[in-house]
Amino acid sequence: MSSFRAVVFGKAGCEKCAVLNQRLDKLLAGDEWKDFEKHYCSVDTEEGLVAFAEAECINPQRIPAMLVMHRSSESAPFVPVANPAADERDETCKKSALYQYVGLQTDYTAQGKGIISPRMIEHTLNKARTAVN
């Protein structure tokens, strides 16, 4: 049973959404990430759109995005991990880092180039572990 969930918000036909899913799947296949699971939410579906709206922290123009959630016990629901460094600039993820919660959204500016790198994903998952422990 996983204590962390990486929720990916994406949509059909989005190449960047497919890349984020592939990178996260590859990372989570490693033994050191057994405390994480991935959950995909398509914003093209009613269920995915509701989950996206309930997250309340992602810009709809910056999909794909990932929100890290945690649960304290098997019977507890997953809740977003609060960002312990919300006041500080994230040097690894820069403008892709979410503010209120631990997660990422795509930075389509010239600086971000629309890339969520494997390093950014790993950094974000480790940030969630540190915030909870």
What pLDDT was estimated at residue 54? Answer: 94
What pLDDT was estimated at residue 32? Answer: 95
What pLDDT was estimated at residue 12? Answer: 94
Q: Are 101 and 81 in contact (CB under 8 A)?
A: yes
Instruction: Please give the average pLDDT of every successive group of 10 residues along the chain, which has 133 residues.
Output: 94 96 97 96 96 93 97 91 92 95 96 95 97 91
Question: Which sequence spans correspond to the domains of the chain?
Answer: 4-132
What pLDDT was estimated at residue 92? Answer: 96
Cα 125 to Cα 38, 45, 57: the distances in Å are 11, 26, 17
Residues 6+ apart with CB under 8 A from 62: 105, 106, 107, 108
Q: What is the pTM of this model?
A: 0.94
Quickly name the fold that domain 4-132 has. Glutaredoxin (3.40.30)
